[in-house]
């Protein structure tokens, strides 16, 4: 029988590095916000960018300079799914949708997942990927 993972509380610092208005400490992301941020960081990290773990990340950035069409969107979706499955063990039931936006030369990404071992609703977030030169 498979072992059921039980998640506990998660905390991470907010990468905006904006201070808390009262305490002036760095702000903290908790639980689902921390995991959402971790998933997005995995998608936006370029392999070889992280010291001592040259495989962490996805090759999404290299695909953004191709045509903005459904073929490229499928390739980006596959890269995102592989990266999250390999580097974020706290999520399950992953679903990724990537829609091309040719008018703005970008892709709209929607990621849906459940957090393992926590009784919270399914997490959904959307962001835009665009080529920056």
Sign for the CA dihedral angle at 100, 102, 106, 108 comes to negative
The mean per-residue pLDDT over the stretch 51-77 comes to 84
- Per CATH, the number for 11-130 is 3.10.450.40
pLDDT in tens, 15-51: 667 777 787 777 767 777 778 888 888 888 888 887 8
Cα distance between residue 115 and residue 92, in whole Å: 6
Q: Where are the domains of the chain?
A: 11-130
Tokens encoding 117: 């071992």
The β-bridge partners of 133 are: none
Q: Are 114 and 103 in contact (CB under 8 A)?
A: no
pLDDT in tens, 94-125: 999 999 998 888 899 999 998 887 788 888 98
pTM of this prediction exceeds 0.85? no
First to last CA, the chain: 50
Q: Are 26 and 17 in contact (CB under 8 A)?
A: yes
In angstroms, the Cα distances linking 116 to 15, 58, 119 are 24, 22, 9
């Amino acid at each position: 029988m498979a072992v059921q993972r039980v998640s506990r509380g998660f905390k991470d610092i907010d990468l905006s590095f904006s201070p808390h208005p009262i305490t002036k400490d760095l702000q903290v992301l908790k639980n689902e916000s921390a995991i959402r941020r971790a998933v997005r960081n995995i998608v936006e990290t370029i392999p070889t960018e992280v010291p001592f773990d040259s495989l962490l990340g996805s090759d999404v950035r290299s695909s953004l300079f191709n045509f903005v069409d459904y073929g490229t969107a499928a390739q980006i979706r596959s890269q995102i799914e592989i990266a999250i499955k390999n580097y974020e063990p706290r999520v399950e039931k992953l679903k990724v949708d990537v829609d091309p936006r040719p008018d703005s030369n970008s892709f709209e990404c929607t990621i849906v997942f459940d957090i393992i071992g926590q009784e919270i609703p399914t997490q959904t977030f959307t962001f835009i990927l665009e080529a920056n030169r």
